Amino acid sequence: MEELSPIPDPEPYQGVNAEQPSTDLPAFRYILFPRKGGWSAFPYPDIAALMVAEGPVYYVSSLERSEEMPANITVITLPEAEKLLQESRTVAVVAHPYWLTATASLHPELCIVLLPEPVGEEAESPLWESCISRLVGIADLVGTTSETRYMKLVFQGVRAIWLNGEDSSPAGVMQMDDLEVPLRDYELLFLHALRQTLSGVQDTVTKLQCSVRADFYRQLRSKAGAHETISFLLAAYEYVLEDYRAAASLKEAFSHAVLNGRNDCVSSHYRFLSAIHARAGEIENALQVYGISAGNEQERHHYEQLCRWLEAGEEQLVRAELLRLNDDYGNALRILDELGGETARHWKFRIFQETGRVEDALDLVHAVDIQDSPSRQDYRQLSGLALALRGDRHGAVRQFLETALEDEDALARIVEMELLDQAVQQLLGEVP
């Protein structure tokens, strides 16, 4: 059995009262925007405890302090939070997607998102996913307990941490004053990711956690044998790590999906082989796989278009598009950035739209792009979303109303703004 990849210890924390050089900057402070239900409903108390060790932590609520809330967390009102976020070295920590416009409009210096699992009707609400998408689009670091969500974020190129794990034994310690606090692997990784985010240094934690997860599934496979789900997840992590074994793991997963009678396994499993080939630069093989997996008229038409691009020598454009079709937005964007040019700009715009990066998408729009009526409609709607995130409610409503003259669906955006206002009142505890 292979050993798990070692997790490095973070630099020892000296405590807020430790003697520090006069040139040291003050600690970051953290403003927690919670979910409904008070401290007992806060989804990540262990992560909040790590933040307390790093700097002052504030909890936004209209409710009185509850007895179970840690004494070292300060309860503040939303107006007080708004004032604090205007100061430097203050981080917004968003633990519910319905805080989207309320927090984005404050323009925090840094935004950390701790995604909760949906409760009750939240799981069925289209507002839930659309808010998560746009919230992730402005986040500097995202944490989630869902491994499926985590993998999606990694493929998007988001700095993300999976806040879960099977191993409850300590993976390291954090020094706090005279105490050594044991940390689980995901807590230690989050602490590394947090410090890297605050320091503005390159992300090294995502690949480290993916390596840990790949080792876990490799060990699981060695015990349980080849398995549709285990082998597929192993292939996904190996793909992220550019491990040559990804193709073999995926083919194994696909074979078992076929044996299990999965009708959709060509698109759900086999197609991913096109991303593995594309990432390795094997464009013809990648395109051939995608062609086999094209199951409807639209996909076959797209395959033919990609064949024409390849014949025209546009290998990197085909490569980027095959990665996008497999939800690998992060690597697709890197290729498009290197390519440059008008076609790359248009495909980057599409990726930004699909991943909720509203401002990035808007920055790519040129006057020539909005000459016809449908394009102008899309532009107005995108502008409305951007204005709402900036806190310009009047401007956002105007854009949506102008769009609604030709597309009544735009009125749903105004309704969404109202729903989020009501949701914030609930999150604050002002209404049931």
Neighbours of 59 (CB within 10 A): 25
Distance between CA atoms of 9 and 191, rounded to whole angstroms?
A: 10
Q: Note the pLDDT of residue 176.
A: 66
Cβ–Cβ < 8 Å for 205, 161: yes
> For the chain, which residues make up each domain, given as ranges?
29-203, 367-428
Q: pTM here?
A: 0.91
Cβ–Cβ < 8 Å for 192, 174: no
Q: Note the pLDDT of residue 291.
A: 97
CATH of 29-203, one of 3.40.50.620, 2.60.40.420, 3.40.50.2000, 3.20.20.210: 3.40.50.2000
- Could you say which residues of the chain have pLDDT below 50? 1-23
Q: Note the pLDDT of residue 46.
A: 93
Distance between CA atoms of 172 and 294, rounded to whole angstroms?
A: 47
